[in-house]
Amino acid sequence: MILDLFRKEIEFNNIHGYDDIKNIVRRVLDAEDNYKLLFVGLPASAKTFFLLGILESKKGVYFDGSNTTNRILDVLDEKRPKIICIDELAKTISGQIAQLHGKRTHQGRPDAETI
């Protein structure tokens, strides 16, 4: 398809190594189906850089879980983004995670990619 020639490829310039993960992320973001990615690793293992690299080339929303409140739910209702990046998810209050999950499944909108 001609449009694919002009699509900006995610480069991850700030990440050295992790070539296998870079390829997986590229394939997921170019896929027609919806996927959810969860980056888990030790501190300084490029998790945040992956999220920022995704947001550089794709339209989405970013939340820092360590200081996010119910604003996540408001943004999801208003913008309905396809790509949602939540950094420091473990620091998000567990009640917010349960509320977010319940709200998405209750409204029947499992159309967002959670990264």
Mean confidence (pLDDT) of the chain: 75
- Please state, for a pLDDT cut of 70, what percent of the chain lies above it: 66
Check if the beta carbon of residue 68 is closer than 8 Å to that of residue 95: no
Upper half-sphere CA count for residue 52 (Cβ side, 13 Å): 9
Q: How many CB atoms lie within 10 A of CB 62?
A: 17
Q: Per-domain residue ranges for the chain?
A: 16-114
**What pLDDT shows up at residue 107?**
45
Residue 80 vs residue 26, higher pLDDT: 26
Type of residue at 71: R
**Per-residue pLDDT tens digits for 52-90:** 989 887 888 888 877 666 677 788 788 888 888 888 877
Q: Is pTM beyond 0.85 here?
A: no
